[in-house]
Amino acid sequence: MTLKRLDHVNIRTGNLTGLTSFYGGLLGLEEGARPPFGVNGAWLYLADLPVVHLVEVEKTPEARTPRVEHFAFMAEGLEETKARLSEAGQSFREVTVPGYGWTQLFLRDPDGNNVELTFMETGGAS
């Protein structure tokens, strides 16, 4: 497995319009294309990279509850990574991004943080 770069931050919010305006209007990120996940949200781009992913929830989580849902790395070597995680006894969930064909592996670190590994090599848009 090779990690290539930190890819994005995913934030849960009950104020999608406000956060879109903050990251877009105030900080200058551009709202752009987002896969049809089945939940409302927005992807905000820095140049051609969607670096802030917003997911709408009914109510913004309390301060003591994590608002950052996960962080993500772009990676290479999907089959090698799955074998490595399995050999280590590390559980993970595998998802295909709708409309893009990318494969995502979701796992938890020892503190319970949700980590995403995204593999674009499996097809889809780049």
- Report helix, strand or coil for 17: helix
Whether the pLDDT of residue 54 is over 70: the answer is yes
Task: Band the pLDDT of 111: cuts 50, 70, 90.
Answer: low
103-114 burial code (b ≥16 CB/10 A, e <16): bbbebeeeeeeb
Task: Read off the CATH number of the domain in which 108 is found.
Answer: 3.10.180.10
* Average pLDDT for the chain: 86
Domain that residue 41 falls in = 2-122
How confident is the model at residue 125, as a pLDDT?
40
Whether the pLDDT of residue 124 is over 90: the answer is no
Provide the number of structural domains found in the chain.
1
Report pTM. Answer: 0.66
Q: What is the pLDDT of residues 74-94, one digit of tens each?
A: 889 999 999 989 989 999 999
